Amino acid sequence: MSNILVTGGTGFLGRHLIKKLKKEGHSVVISNTTNCNLHDYNNFCNTLEGEKFDYIFHLAAKTRAGDYCMYHKGEQWIDNQLLNTNMLKYWYNKQAQAKMIAMGTGCTYEPSEDFLVEKDCISGEPEPELYAYAHTKRMLLVGLKSLAEQYNMKYIYYIPSTLYGSDFVLNDNHFIFDLVKKIYKGKHYNEKVTLWGNGHQRRELIFVNDAIQLMIDLLHLDNEVINLSTGEDYSIREYAKIICNIMDYDFNKIEYDESRYTGALVKRLSPDKLKKLSNNFKFTTTEAGIKNTIDYYISSCK
């Protein structure tokens, strides 16, 4: 069994990952804002003094869904550059034997109606509204590559589609959670259901448990950039219809606010590399994953 450090352990992905790692018998050390200050390099090192890790999962990041990135560009740049630089410095100085598993984001890609391929993840210009955050994730990859090339260190850089599933924080406004909450309130409290944009923008999901299983299955790889992608995308309207069918809510009652921020019209990651590496992993269906998410939300509302 391995000794593993997880940063961002209280986040959505972190909570699910830690549960999975512990279930498999690994020793897990969790870094979060309450027990390790990754903004303070010396504090971080002192807190973890004497530890030797086999793997480091670097999930910590300063961001939120919706239009947060539009109004916190400077804050995101400073915080995320500090987090990532301190993490890379700690890896190099204290844990060079460990393999770093770091998380990217689909917004690092230049917007395109085509499937987004790993080789292009730091090419072109990201969406203007996500520019600062996207570049902090690009710089993280540059740091990983630079240390690997100069010092023969090992990493994997995953770029996930939007993660979803149970155990999400109830104020999380990633689009799929937002849809579930709005439609639930429309059905049970007769609140108006208004979605951002015209609903034709297309997005891709990956069930969080699938993403984690793939991340673990591919740990043997070295120095790879890998999209975590199902290759299936749907419009916001199509996701809303699935949720309405499960909740028995009239889809035709939904309204749309086209004045609100919606991001790229299309965002879908190429699954080709992942499928070759994972022997065509069997993904949780979109309907089953959304049902799981809805069931969790309903149980949390009781």
300 C-beta neighbours (distance < 10 Å), count? 12
- Sign (positive/negative) of CA torsion 270, 142, 94, 85? negative
What does the pLDDT look like over 10-48, one tens digit per residue? 999 999 999 999 999 999 999 877 778 899 999 999 999
Closest CA to 289 of 249, 230, 236: 230
Percent of the chain scored above 70 by pLDDT? 98
The answer to whether 7 and 57 are in contact (CB under 8 A) is yes
- Given the structure tokens 């070295």, which residue do they identify? 222
CA distance linking residue 253 with residue 195, whole number of Å? 11
37 C-beta neighbours (distance < 10 Å), count? 16
Name the pTM for this structure.
0.95
CA distance linking residue 239 with residue 251, whole number of Å? 11
Percent of the chain scored above 90 by pLDDT? 82
* 168: pLDDT strictly greater than 70: yes
Task: Report the pLDDT value the prediction gives residue 203, as an integer from 0 to 100.
Answer: 93
Task: Report the pLDDT value the prediction gives residue 68, as an integer from 0 to 100.
Answer: 66
- Given the structure tokens 């951002």, which residue do they identify? 196
Q: Side chain identity at 55, as an amino acid letter?
A: Y
CA distance linking residue 85 with residue 136, whole number of Å? 10
CA distance linking residue 75 with residue 83, whole number of Å? 12
Comparing 124 with 267, the larger pLDDT belongs to 124
107 token code pair = 């917004």
* 66: pLDDT strictly greater than 70: no
Task: Report the pLDDT value the prediction gives residue 274, as an integer from 0 to 100.
Answer: 97
Averaged pLDDT score across all residues of the chain: 94
Mean pLDDT along residues 119-124: 97
Closest CA to 179 of 234, 231, 112: 234
The 3-class SS string of 115-141 reads CECHHHCCCCCCCHHHHHHHHHHHHHH
Mean pLDDT along residues 110-138: 94
What does the pLDDT look like over 170-186, one tens digit per residue? 888 889 999 999 999 99
Task: Report the pLDDT value the prediction gives residue 67, as an integer from 0 to 100.
Answer: 67
- Residue 257 burial (C-beta neighbours within 10 Å; 0-12, 13-18, 19+): exposed
What does the pLDDT look like over 208-243, one tens digit per residue? 999 999 999 999 999 999 999 999 999 999 999 999
Q: Side chain identity at 288, as an amino acid letter?
A: A
The answer to whether 217 and 278 are in contact (CB under 8 A) is yes
CA distance linking residue 45 with residue 49, whole number of Å? 6
CA distance linking residue 247 with residue 234, whole number of Å? 19
